[in-house]
Structure 1
Amino acid sequence: MADVGDYDLIKRCLNGDNSAFDLLVKRYERQMYRTAWGIVKNSDTAKDITQTGFLKCWKKLHTYNPDFKFYSWLYRIMVNESLNHLRNKKTHSSLSLYHSSGENPYLKLLKKEENRILAKCIGELPTDYRVVIQLRHFEELSYKEIAGILDIEPRTVKSRLYTARIQLREKLL
């Protein structure tokens, strides 16, 4: 079943095959959890957001437009759920950073400290900037994909990234 495309699974879901949706969840749950966690910085909350996002996806699956990637559509749902959570809770969080697994203990410790400082500085950015940093640098999405997910123009994505990088540079210096 791993070679079955997203659109085929969606058609099966819409025809009543619940196991097809299970396959979509298994295909994307790790990425969607990581995205939610990167925004809210809380494991339990990220799990709840991921579950809520997939539930919303299930309920709105009939509105999916096959002219666009399913992944981007689902991603947008998860980002919106995460942002809604932040708005409702009015919390500020920092992003997850993956630590280097270098062999030299000193370099490993140094890298961990650099990542901690960077995560703290990213966490201090306004939400709009944190989100574009997460999507571009940690999820490695294109400007166009980010624009689609956030429902903004690609030039707005570039502008937010530019401003976020300037603010990060100032904080780090």
Structure 2
Amino acid sequence: MNEKDIIKAARLGNSQALAKLFQQNYTFLLKYLIKATMNKAMAEDLAQETFAKCLEKIHQYDEKSKFSSWLIAIATNLYMDQLRKNKRENNWEKEQGIRHLKWQMENRNEEWNDVLTALSHLRDDVRIPIVLKHYYGYSYDDIGNIMKISSGTVKSRIHNGILAVRKELNT
């Protein structure tokens, strides 16, 4: 059964089809959210919230983009909404999350490099387009659609973010 058939079955309320969609996309979504939030616990919460929203709104999926792109759009919007609500609290949480994530990755002998550290210092609205473009290969237009901003703004944020990362890595 291909993804379109699974989605069609999920829209009709087939719980096995929904479970299959979640199973196929959870790891991808979680890895994206970890890079976007720099906080594993927050990423896990957002992944669950994303799937809950997906379950509620699966009838709105228009199949113009990949299902995983639709999930990323939902997750990004949920994260940006959360940031707007909890601005001050998030700065402290983010630093703690970065330290914890770095510690976890190093203890599992996974790579935490200087680029991830430099990315973690960027504002979320700059880091997310860079992650989507350079880790996941999305186009400027796709990123603009996901984040509900123009592709010109996406290009500008990516350009300025990369300059900031380069500057930090050269010091």
CA contact (8 A) 1:40 1:86 kept: no
- For each residue in 1:125-162, what CA deviation from the matched residue of structure 2 results, as whole angstroms up to 9, or x when unmatched? 12211111111122232223222211222222111111
Distance 1:66 1:123 in 2: 33
Q: Which of these residues, 162, 166, 169, is aligned with residue 165 of structure 1?
A: 162
Moved >4 Å (runs of 4+): none
1:15 equivalent in structure 2: 12
1:122 equivalent in structure 2: 119
TM-score where L is the length of structure 1: 0.78
1:137 equivalent in structure 2: 134
**Identical aligned residues as a percent:** 29
Distance 1:144 1:23 in 2: 29
2:33 equivalent in structure 1: 36
> Is 1:152 matched with 2:149?
yes
Distance 2:169 2:64 in 1: 42
Q: How does 1:29-108 map to 2 (within 5 A)?
A: 29-90=26-87, 91-92=90-91, 93=94
Distance 2:146 2:31 in 1: 16
Distance 2:65 2:140 in 1: 15
Distance 1:27 1:19 in 2: 12
> Is 1:26 matched with 2:18?
no
CA contact (8 A) 2:29 2:68 kept: no
**SS at 2:46 equivalent:** helix
The amino acid of 2:50's aligned partner reads G
Higher helix content, 1 or 2: 2
Unaligned runs of 5+ in 2: none
Distance 2:64 2:121 in 1: 37
Distance 1:79 1:36 in 2: 8
Considering only aligned residues, what root-mean-square deviation do their CA atoms show, in Å?
A: 2.3
Distance 2:120 2:155 in 1: 19
**SS at 1:125 equivalent:** coil
TM-score where L is the length of structure 2: 0.79
Q: How many Å apart are 1:37 and its aligned residue?
A: 1.3
- For each residue in 1:28-59, what CA deviation from the matched residue of structure 2 results, as whole angstroms up to 9, or x when unmatched? 00011111111222222211110110000010
Distance 1:34 1:88 in 2: 23
Q: How many Å apart are 1:172 and its aligned residue?
A: 2.5
Distance 1:50 1:63 in 2: 19
